[in-house]
């Protein structure tokens, strides 16, 4: 083979390696979506027992439209769903003499006592979005002894199916939003980072229980390397 032929072969090999490497890099990042607890009992729309401010019809519509956009883009979408038994330890009604929002010690941790909410097989536990949007729905909070803010595990450390489902889909970047910013969104996003995922949280597709605790949660998420976007931006999601 002549000198020119060698140069041509070397150039072809170079471009093959470069383009192959680019393709592998592109395949290496797969994005998944976690929609947190969009359930009747957490919304003003349904006069929920634990309704969060700003969870009216317009909010639910915005979440559904943006989730559809992500689905159409081809991203696998997972929902988390509080699914409590009626005797759940986080309900103030299961503690004699206590009232809603009292704080007690439970298993050595501070536990807010909530109004009964998202009780299994009740309307308040239903997810308000089109179920066809979801690759899977991950139920949480089923152990009566432990609260479960995170989609990944309860307060006792028992894992849900979420991490296995994400790994099955080979996902390594997550977009997280829903209810509530300062509780279940925060806990899910932080556990996702701890499990090795790159995480983006969408602020305006989430609603918090209180402005101060929501801001504290956002600051905490940022400090852990979570990117917080005001609105859903497909280009920024790909680039972050």
* C-alpha pair distances (Å), 35 with each of 60, 102, 135, 188: 12, 28, 11, 10
Residues 6-21: b if buried by 16+ CB within 10 A, e if exposed: eeeeeeeeeeeeeeee
CATH number of 30-85+126-239: 3.40.50.850
CA 218 to CA 194: how far, in whole Å? 16
Catalytic residue among 41, 82, 184, 191: 184
Give the pLDDT of residue 2: 55
With 0-12 CB in 10 A as exposed, 13-18 as middle and 19+ as buried, what is 36?
buried
Rg (the chain; Cα; Å)? 22
The model's pLDDT over 161-206, given as tens digits with 9 standing for 90+, comes to 999 999 999 999 999 999 999 999 999 999 999 999 999 999 999 9
Q: Is the predicted pLDDT of residue 3 greater than 80, yes or no?
A: no
Nearest to 135 by CA among 155, 164, 156: 164
Establish whether 140 is a catalytic residue: yes
Give the pLDDT of residue 120: 98
Q: Which pTM does this prediction carry?
A: 0.88
The model's pLDDT over 196-238, given as tens digits with 9 standing for 90+, comes to 999 999 999 999 999 999 999 999 999 999 999 999 999 999 9
CA 188 to CA 186: how far, in whole Å? 6
- Terminal Cα-to-Cα distance of the chain (whole angstroms): 46
Domain boundaries, the chain: 30-85+126-239
Nearest to 48 by CA among 129, 104, 128: 128
Catalytic residue among 37, 154, 155, 182: 37
The model's pLDDT over 75-125, given as tens digits with 9 standing for 90+, comes to 999 999 999 999 999 999 999 999 999 999 999 999 999 999 999 999 999
Per-residue tokens: 33: 């979506």
Catalytic residue among 41, 140, 154, 163: 140
The model's pLDDT over 14-57, given as tens digits with 9 standing for 90+, comes to 554 444 554 444 455 899 999 999 999 999 999 999 999 999 99
């Amino acid at each position: 083979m002549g000198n020119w032929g060698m140069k041509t072969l070397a150039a072809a090999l170079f471009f093959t390696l470069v383009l192959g490497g680019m393709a592998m890099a592109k395949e290496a990042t797969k994005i998944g979506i976690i929609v947190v607890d969009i359930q009747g009992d957490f919304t003003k729309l349904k006069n929920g027992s634990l309704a969060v401010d700003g969870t009216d019809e317009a909010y639910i519509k915005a979440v559904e439209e943006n989730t559809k956009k992500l689905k159409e883009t081809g991203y696998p979408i997972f929902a988390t769903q509080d699914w409590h038994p009626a005797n759940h330890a986080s309900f103030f009604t299961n503690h004699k003499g206590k009232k809603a929002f009292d704080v007690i010690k439970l298993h050595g941790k501070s536990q807010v006592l909530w109004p009964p909410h998202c009780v299994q097989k009740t309307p308040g536990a239903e997810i308000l979005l089109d179920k066809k949007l979801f690759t899977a729905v991950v139920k949480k909070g089923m152990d009566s002894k432990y609260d479960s803010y995170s989609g990944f595990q309860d307060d006792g450390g028992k894992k849900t199916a979420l991490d296995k489902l994400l790994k099955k889909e080979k996902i390594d970047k997550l977009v997280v939003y829903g209810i509530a910013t300062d509780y279940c969104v925060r806990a899910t996003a932080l556990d996702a980072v701890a499990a090795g995922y790159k995480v983006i949280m969408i602020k305006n597709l989430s609603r918090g229980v209180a402005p101060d605790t929501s801001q504290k949660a956002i600051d905490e998420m940022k400090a852990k390397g979570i990117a917080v976007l005001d609105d859903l931006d497909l280009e920024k999601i790909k680039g972050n």
